[in-house]
Amino acid sequence: MLAWATPPALTVTDAWVRVTPGAEVAAAYLTLHNGGPQPVNIVGVSSPLAAVAMIHETRLVGTQSTMRAREELVVAAGATLRFAPGGLHVMLQGLSQALKPGDTVPLLLLLEGGRTLAVTARVRPLTSE
């Protein structure tokens, strides 16, 4: 009997972390794609290297940049959502170790219904986009 594996509906590509030397915070970026027929709700994120990990969104209000936490993020069926500087990002606070370019940072996306998606992000220099 042949069993076909069902690919995960939510996939992650281009996961990376921008680090600020000497700081206990960093921002992670990635691209999410929902290849399934149903929306996927992301209800949180965690990392063993950070005391706190949250999904944040940066917005420009007039001439001032503001950042706010997103309690939930919905990736529509068939949609691609890009976390990028100046927009959505994972804020990592209280890092347990100094990060340097080339390091990897494990992230765990917490999905509605108790599912999770493990992600490995590579650390890039501060000047990377």
Q: Exposed/middle/buried for 17, CB within 10 Å: 0-12, 13-18, 19+?
A: buried
- The whole-number pLDDT of residue 118 equals 96
- The whole-number pLDDT of residue 52 equals 96
Q: How many domains does the chain have?
A: 1
- The whole-number pLDDT of residue 86 equals 87
In this structure, is residue 129 part of a structural domain? no
In this structure, is residue 35 part of a structural domain? yes
25 near 54, Cβ under 8 Å? no
Q: CA-to-CA distance for 13 and 3, rounded, in angstroms?
A: 26
What is this structure's pTM?
0.86
Q: Which of 21, 33, 11, 53 is nearest to 124 (CA)?
A: 21
Q: CA-to-CA distance for 6 and 36, rounded, in angstroms?
A: 10
- The whole-number pLDDT of residue 46 equals 97
Domain range for 55 is 10-124
Residue ranges in the chain modelled with pLDDT below 70? 1-8, 60, 65, 128-129
Q: What is the CATH number of the domain that holds 17?
A: 2.60.40.1890
Give the pLDDT confidence of 90-109 residue by residue, as tens digits. 999 999 998 989 999 999 99
